[in-house]
Amino acid sequence: MRFGLFGGARTSTGEQPSDSQQIHEFIDYVLEAEDLGFESVFLVEHHFTGFGQISAALNLLSYLAARTRRMRLGTAVTVLPWHNPALLVEQAATVDVVSGGRLDLGIGRGYRHTEFAGFCMSMDEAEARYQECLAFIRAAWTSPGRFSHHGTYWHYDNVVIEPAPLQRPHPPLWIGANSEASIVKTARDGMNLLIAQHGTPEAVGTKIAAFRHAVEAAGRTYDPFSAGVTRALHVAHTAAERDRQHELRIRFMRNVQDLSLPPSGPVAGNHFQGHGDAENMRRMTETDALIGTPEEIVARLKVYEAAGVRHMLLMDVGGSLEALRIFGREILPEFREPV
């Protein structure tokens, strides 16, 4: 099993540090993770949160490209409806070039009501904007020369995108998918899979099996590291620490839910439709998050490994260097492949 980092988020605990301080602390966190053996970092893209989530992921990845040596550098995800596709594909290709071909471009439609409202954009347009932007990205990275694009939202005449990415035909594209139909479509479209942060190991295993079957049915060789599973990580040695980490996780989930739902409440298909009240959030945290002693976390991860998980992305919303070091020194060696 291989491990990476996910998110880049911070939560407000007491006196909130400045954004610049948070970013520098996160950079140190990523560099330490690479030294400990983590193999990737996937950054979110979020706006207007008020609690320090990463907003300019590709900019930060450009800096990390210069500071890291081997880690894969990913987005999870870049929200296509908000971006000019020509500028986005230029920025992404630049990260791929300066990193020596280490970019993983995760893409998505977006799900937070407050973000679309802040951009003065209707969520009803999200799917159409996403599909048009994705079509442009594919054309930009596969056209042999200049090309034109005339869609509903963007228009370009006789353009060539520079630079070309180092990875050919382009960096891996990742997309979050949860239903069987969307997982199968992800495989048929030749994309890698990001699995939602919630669900039992058995449910996750079923999704990975469906993805693998669809990849092989499309005539391609399945790469077990092309499916990433994200889980919250909190090392806790005592009952009091465990309770505190549960509360931290629930507070984070509540913040995200408040930012995600429109004033009228949940709507069909919303990312946080089923989270509900604090009791349900606590139950989900007990089921899904990796909270406990190193021995308990190893045991939980072994269950995921047995279910077919080979690529685990870990999110510690508190960004604890101590917990990261404990994981790197006491947990990660249990999953290293024999040399």
CA–CA distance, 102 with 94 (Å, rounded to integer): 11
CATH architecture of the domain covering 2-335: Alpha-Beta Barrel (3.20)
More confident residue, 34 or 239: 34
**Predicted local distance difference test score (pLDDT) of residue 279:** 75
More confident residue, 201 or 247: 201
More confident residue, 13 or 239: 239
More confident residue, 269 or 24: 24
For 199-236, how does the pLDDT look when each residue is reduced to its tens digit (9 = 90+)? 999 999 999 999 999 999 999 999 999 999 999 999 99
CA–CA distance, 314 with 5 (Å, rounded to integer): 5
Collapsing DSSP to helix, strand or coil, 7 comes out as strand
Q: Are the C-beta atoms of residues 334 and 298 closer than 8 Å to each other?
A: yes
Please check the confidence at residue 268 and state whether its pLDDT lies above 50: no
* Owner of token pair 């992305």: 313
Q: Are the C-beta atoms of residues 133 and 173 closer than 8 Å to each other?
A: no
**Predicted local distance difference test score (pLDDT) of residue 30:** 97
**Predicted local distance difference test score (pLDDT) of residue 244:** 87
Domain boundaries, given as residue ranges, for the chain = 2-335
CA–CA distance, 251 with 249 (Å, rounded to integer): 5
**Predicted local distance difference test score (pLDDT) of residue 317:** 78
Mean pLDDT, range 283-300, rounded to an integer? 90
**Predicted local distance difference test score (pLDDT) of residue 185:** 97
**Predicted local distance difference test score (pLDDT) of residue 325:** 97
Ramachandran quadrant class, 223 (left: phi over 0; alpha: psi -120 to 50; beta: rest)? beta
Please check the confidence at residue 302 and state whether its pLDDT lies above 50: yes
DSSP-assigned states of every residue in 25-76: HHHHHHHHHHHHT--EEEE----S-SS---S-HHHHHHHHHHH-SS-EEEEE
Q: What is the pTM assigned to this prediction?
A: 0.91
Mean pLDDT, range 163-183, rounded to an integer? 96
The band of 14, judged by pLDDT with boundaries at 50, 70 and 90, is: very low
Query: Which region among 236-240, 260-264, 316-320 has the lowest average model confidence (pLDDT)?
Result: 260-264
For 116-167, how does the pLDDT look when each residue is reduced to its tens digit (9 = 90+)? 999 999 999 999 999 999 999 999 999 999 999 999 999 999 999 999 999 9
Q: Are the C-beta atoms of residues 127 and 109 closer than 8 Å to each other?
A: yes
Q: Which residues pair with 314 in a beta bridge?
A: 5, 231
The band of 9, judged by pLDDT with boundaries at 50, 70 and 90, is: low
Query: CA-CA distances (angstroms) from residue 131 to 85, 108, 136, 272?
Result: 11, 10, 9, 22
Please check the confidence at residue 270 and state whether its pLDDT lies above 50: no
Please state, for a pLDDT cut of 90, what percent of the chain lies above it. Answer: 75
Query: Please, where are the H alpha helices in 144-277?
Result: 180-188, 201-217, 239-260
